[in-house]
Amino acid sequence: MESEALSDVAGVPIFLKLESEQPTGAFKLRGAWNYLGCIPEQRLQTGIITYSSGNHGQAVAFAAGKKGVTAVIVMPETAPRWKVAGVRRWGGEVVFAGVTSAAREAKAREMAAELGLEVIPPYNHADIIAGQGTVGLEIVHQLGEVQHVVVPVGGGGLIAGVTVAVSALKRAADIVGVEPDGAPS
């Protein structure tokens, strides 16, 4: 979607990829959906587990629900109530563990081993990155002559996927990672 206000300020056309329009409100659904699609059905029968502070957890719960798979989401004790409610809305079971990513991952891996659950990583896996990369594919297909792509950086899965996709289709495009001044990764 073109942003006329930003285009006027920048003096060049600026387009926004509105991932907030995804059913779960973020691009994370792309990676979760792709990852689940890559897991053999027999490994999904006991369920899946992930660790997330919110958006990835909601995405995994949504994708699992659509596929009829049980999903456990390990979240920080300090998770915003609305993110916890989002996971539950999509059918995920919430388990709280500490306040750090390391604490969440440790709890998820412990439960996976104990219950035979498949672990879905939040960003650092090729199948997650490939799913996030569909953002880049759509940008090139929808805009064609894109010269610059600006991508927010958090865990790195989105920018990795977008970089692979855009570079494969549009070698001359520049890709720039950005993060907020007040909340850098």
User: Among 16, 41, 21, which Cα is nearest to 118's?
Assistant: 41
Q: Which are the contacts of 25, defined by CB distance < 8 A and separation ≥ 6?
A: 55, 58, 86
**Beta-carbon count within 10 A of 168 CB:** 12
Catalytic: which of 3, 20, 53, 101? 53
User: Among 60, 106, 101, which Cα is nearest to 78's?
Assistant: 101
User: Among 19, 1, 4, which Cα is nearest to 143's?
Assistant: 1
3-state DSSP assignment of residue 78: coil
Does the annotation count 101 as an active-site position? Answer: no
Does the annotation count 167 as an active-site position? Answer: no
Catalytic: which of 17, 28, 83, 170? 28
Distance between CA 132 and CA 117 in Å, rounded? 23
Catalytic residues: 28, 53
